[in-house]
A and B are shown apart, each in its own frame.
Chain A
Amino acid sequence: MEEPLNLVLFSGTDDKLQAAAILTAGAAALGKPVNVFLQYWALDAFRADRIDTDHGLVAEAGEVGRQAVHALRAAGQASWAETLRQAKELGGIDIQACSLSMDLLQIEQTDLDPLVDGVEGVTAFYLNAGAGQVVFI
């Protein structure tokens, strides 16, 4: 069994989530299993009622950076949520919400987008991660 790629998503801005979605989709296309663990602001962005809304960009983007990202979107780049949905069709992607963050943000699993497969603690995350790389975004 191939070692999975394990992504811990912490930041909830669209540019970080886009980078994470691209890495996830790339790994899935290569046939590598991917475990995604959603914490804090990234988890908040996966709420069903706001997953497809604007989550802003990191501060360094600036106003014109935002426009460059939107221009790329207008030119046909898929949103991070759409990229993840496409990637999930390839199989091998497991997206789990961090149980502690769920409590912190007072989110129920029913509040989350169907992209999220379940809720787990950090121990389960590390057990599933095995010897694979863990990348914090």
Chain B
Amino acid sequence: MTLQITTQVDARGLSCPMPIVKTAQAIKTIASGDLIEVLATDAGSVKDFAAWSRTTGNDLVEQSVDGSVYRFVLRRK
């Protein structure tokens, strides 16, 4: 099953806290239940996206790493 991604955030090369800030901005533009995909290179983002998901209630549906690029898929609350 492939997930239907509504929007993407390319936060590669951005340092903390910009990956989270860009994602928070972008998730406001999609409907509840829709998915957002984030690419980041900040190693701290692994813990940060988990924390962000817990605090905001937007589910972290998927997460993976490919070399130095982290990928997160979140579902808007």
A99 in the interface, Cβ–Cβ < 8 Å? no
Contact size range, B: 10 to 19
B6 in the interface, Cβ–Cβ < 8 Å? no
A72–B17 Cα distance when bound, in Å, is 14
List chain A residues, Cβ under 8 A from B23.
Answer: 29
A95 in the interface, Cβ–Cβ < 8 Å? no
Q: Is the CB of A86 within 8 A of B55?
A: no
Contact size range, A: 10 to 19
B25 in the interface, Cβ–Cβ < 8 Å? yes
List chain B residues, Cβ under 8 A from A87.
Answer: 21
Q: Is the CB of A28 within 8 A of B55?
A: no
A41–B4 Cα distance when bound, in Å, is 49
Closest 3 CB pairs of A and B: A29-B24, A29-B20, A30-B55
Q: What residues make up the interface of B, taking CB atoms closer than 8 Å to A? A: 13-18, 20-21, 23-25, 28, 51-52, 55-56
